[in-house]
Structure 1
Amino acid sequence: MLHLRLITPADRTAEVVGLLEKTVGTTHLAVVPGAARDPEGDLVLCDVAREAGDEVLEGLCDLGIDRSGSIAVENIDVSLSQRAEKAEKDAPGEGADAVLWDQLADATHEESTLSVTYLAFLTLATMIAACGVVLDNAILIVGAMAVGPEFGPLAGFCTALVQRAPRLALRSFVALIAGFAAAMVLTVGFSYFMDAVGLFQETKLQAERPNTNFIYNPDWFSFVVALLAGAAGTLSLTSSKSGALVGVAISVTTVPAAANAAVAFSYNSYAQAWGSTEQLLLNLLGIVLAGTLTLLAQKFFWRRTRKGART
């Protein structure tokens, strides 16, 4: 269930209440006239089944409440109410299949911003992966993959493509490209430092490295895994399954590939650096392609579900 907290101009409250009352899946409606001060208006509260959330939000935006008032949405973890159970039962489809596009756009907006924190996480993840590739340590590689925040801008870019939002697409693209570029440049410097103190050695990089040589040897399996991970990651975001997103993070070698390219470049091993860069680009392409197609499929099937429920 979702909880909606609305501030509506007094002259629009009746329309808002009418919209909420006629939407299947809403319950616990409450109106407090004149309670809001900034902006002035009435306070309207209600709970809505996740399946009906996108329809309600679309209707509220069509009424201009996002411009003249306020719309706040919260997830309800526990709701002990027979009315809530009935609302979820009556709403079309399943809550896990519903996509709240406004919520998704808001979440990916924050995750796809080129911030200091984002750069710090991506750089630290790349440096951890650099240690992993030199030591041929799979545990460090997995740890770096879990730390990397790159799925945020990837998901933002997919969402922007489906929603035709050029601003979000540009923001996500800049965060992705500039983030990896900065992380790789800093990791080159980190590699020089580690070599100077005797912790990195070119012989270790050029060794067979059975645990990590897949990072600079891309093949079709790399692309297939990226496709599967992109679909799984997108589903985890739209269904709020954060545990699944962690699994996605440790299944695709984006950060390790960037790290291996940086370390290889510092030792002038350009063949290995190019192989790692190819692996990185292949994974990014696979995730974006699968994520976009997954969102398009969800959008198509959910529209059919809503149309079927109305007929």
Structure 2
Amino acid sequence: MLHLRLIVPADRTDEVVALLEKTVGTAHLVVLAGAARSPAGDVITCDVAREAGDGVLRELRERGIDDCGSIAVEHIDLSLSKRAVKAEEDAPGEGADAVLWEQLSDATHEESTLTITYIAFLTLATMIAACGVVLDNAILIVGAMAVGPEFGPLAGICTAVVQRAPRLAWRSLVALIGGFAVAMVLTVGFSYFMDAVGLFTSKQAEGARPNTSFIWQPDLMSFVVAFLAGIAGTLSLTSSKSGALVGVAISVTTVPAASNAAVAFIYGDYDQTWGSSSQLLVNLAGIVLAGTLTLVAQKSLWARQRGRERAAVREG
């Protein structure tokens, strides 16, 4: 269930209440007349089944409630109410399959912005991975993959394509390309420093590394894994399954590929640099393609589901 908290101008309260009352899947409607001060107006709260949430939010925004008032959404972890159970039963479809496009757009907006924090996490992840590739240590590689925040802008690109949001697409591309560029340049400097103090050596970097050699040897399997990870990552975002997203992060060699390209570059091993860069591009392309197709499929399936429900209501 979702909890909506709305601030509505007093002269539009009846309109919003009527909308919420006629929406299948709502419960616990409360109106607090004159309770809001900034902006001034009435406070309306109600619980909405997740599968009905996207429709309600879309209608509220079409009516301009976000401009003249406020719309806030919270997830309810536990609701002990027969009315809530009935609301979920009456709402079309299953909550786990529903996509809250407004929430997805908001989440990807935050995660796909080129900020100092984003660059810091991506750079630290790339440096950790650099240590992992030089030491041929798979544990460090996995740790670096979990730290990397690059799935945010990748999801932003997918969402922007499906929602036709050019600003989100541009912001995500800037974060993705700019973030990796900065992280790789800083990792080159880090690698030079580690070599200068004797912690990195050319013998380590160019020797046999059975645990990490896959990083600079892209093949069809690399694309397959990235494609599957893109599907899983997108589903984890739309269903709010953060645990699954962590699994996605440690299954795709984006950060390790960027780090290996930086390390190989300082030792003049341009074959490894090119191979690692190709691995990075293959993984990014696979995730974006899979994520976009997943969102398109979800949007299409949900639209058909809503269409069947509306048809059933008309016939009834």
Give the deviation of 1:122 after TM superposition.
Answer: 0.3
1:110 partner SS: helix
Give the deviation of 1:208 after TM superposition.
Answer: 1.6
Partner of 2:106: 106
Partner of 2:115: 115
**Partner amino acid, structure 1, of 2:262:** A
Q: Does 1:304 align with 2:300?
A: no
* Aligned-partner Cα distance in 2 for 1:212–1:178: 26
* Aligned-partner Cα distance in 1 for 2:185–2:248: 25
CA deviations on 1:41-98 (whole Å, 9 max, x unpaired) are: 1100000000000000011011110111100000001101110011001100000100
Alignment of structure 1 residues 78-227 onto 2, 5 Å: 78-227=78-227
Give the deviation of 1:222 after TM superposition.
Answer: 0.2
1:46 partner SS: strand
1:72 partner SS: strand
**Partner amino acid, structure 2, of 1:69:** G
* Aligned-partner Cα distance in 2 for 1:138–1:66: 48
Give the deviation of 1:158 after TM superposition.
Answer: 0.6
Alignment of structure 1 residues 1-20 onto 2, 5 Å: 1-20=1-20
Give the deviation of 1:270 after TM superposition.
Answer: 0.5
Alignment of structure 1 residues 46-85 onto 2, 5 Å: 46-85=46-85
**Partner amino acid, structure 1, of 2:12:** R
1:285 partner SS: helix
RMSD of aligned Cα (Å): 0.5
Partner of 2:292: 292
Partner of 1:278: 278
Give the deviation of 1:207 after TM superposition.
Answer: 1.1
* Aligned-partner Cα distance in 1 for 2:29–2:305: 25
**Partner amino acid, structure 1, of 2:270:** Y
CA deviations on 1:142-185 (whole Å, 9 max, x unpaired) are: 00000000000100111011101111100000000000000000
**Partner amino acid, structure 2, of 1:134:** V
Partner of 2:237: 237
**Partner amino acid, structure 1, of 2:196:** A
Give the deviation of 1:209 after TM superposition.
Answer: 0.4
1:11 partner SS: helix
**Partner amino acid, structure 1, of 2:285:** L
CA deviations on 1:275-305 (whole Å, 9 max, x unpaired) are: 0000000000000000000000000000111
* Aligned-partner Cα distance in 2 for 1:38–1:284: 44
Once superposed, which parts of structure 1, at least 4 consecutive aligned residues long, lie more than 6 Å away? none
**Partner amino acid, structure 1, of 2:48:** V
**Partner amino acid, structure 2, of 1:114:** L
* Aligned-partner Cα distance in 2 for 1:214–1:230: 19
* Aligned-partner Cα distance in 1 for 2:193–2:206: 18
CA deviations on 1:235-290 (whole Å, 9 max, x unpaired) are: 00000000000000000000000000000011111110000000000000000000
Give the deviation of 1:206 after TM superposition.
Answer: 1.0
2:42 partner SS: strand
Partner of 1:31: 31
Give the deviation of 1:310 after TM superposition.
Answer: 1.1
Give the deviation of 1:136 after TM superposition.
Answer: 0.5
CA deviations on 1:75-129 (whole Å, 9 max, x unpaired) are: 0011011100110011000001000000000001000011111100000000000
Structure 1: runs of 5 or more not aligned: none
1:12 partner SS: helix
Structure 2: runs of 5 or more not aligned: 312-316
Partner of 2:314: none
1:191 partner SS: helix
TM-score (norm. length: structure 2): 0.98
* Aligned-partner Cα distance in 2 for 1:41–1:294: 40
* Aligned-partner Cα distance in 2 for 1:62–1:122: 38
Give the deviation of 1:205 after TM superposition.
Answer: 1.1
- How many matched pairs? 311
TM-score (norm. length: structure 1): 0.99
Alignment of structure 1 residues 238-257 onto 2, 5 Å: 238-257=238-257
**Partner amino acid, structure 2, of 1:168:** L
* Aligned-partner Cα distance in 1 for 2:62–2:130: 50
